[in-house]
Amino acid sequence: MSNNSKILYIGVTDNLTRRVYEHKNKLLEGFTKRYNLTKLVYYEVTNDINAAIRREKQLKNWHREWKINLIESVNKEWKDLAENIFGQTETKDI
């Protein structure tokens, strides 16, 4: 998740739709709410929760430049990818 200032948040979820909805609607206290991180700019999908947790830890240890390069390899303009998933940038119903 990110915002117009390109602050980054990395996390793991078993339900991307629900999690993006929570971030966009600021339903959870914490980093994403504090910094208004409402844009889904990158995501990876796996059915293996252990692999997802390992990947999350790996990405959190990366230098910021590496993370930016990864995002821009698939989303050069930092568009909100939630539109691709939900058909809209603001999620209303789950």
pLDDT in tens, 26-77: 999 999 999 999 999 999 999 999 999 999 999 999 999 999 999 999 999 9
Taking the C-alpha atoms of residue 86 and residue 92, their distance in angstroms, rounded to an integer, is: 10
What is the rounded average pLDDT of the residues 9-24?
95
What is the rounded average pLDDT of the residues 2-7?
97
The pTM (predicted TM-score) of the whole model is 0.87
Taking the C-alpha atoms of residue 56 and residue 25, their distance in angstroms, rounded to an integer, is: 23
Give a yes or no: residue 6 inside a domain: no
Give a yes or no: residue 1 inside a domain: no
Give a yes or no: residue 58 inside a domain: yes
Give a yes or no: residue 92 inside a domain: no
Closest CA to 34 of 12, 7, 11: 7
Give a yes or no: residue 11 inside a domain: no
Give the per-residue pLDDT at 87.
65
The number of folded domains in the chain is 1
What is the rounded average pLDDT of the residues 80-92?
69
Give a yes or no: residue 7 inside a domain: no
Domain that includes residue 60, residue range: 16-86
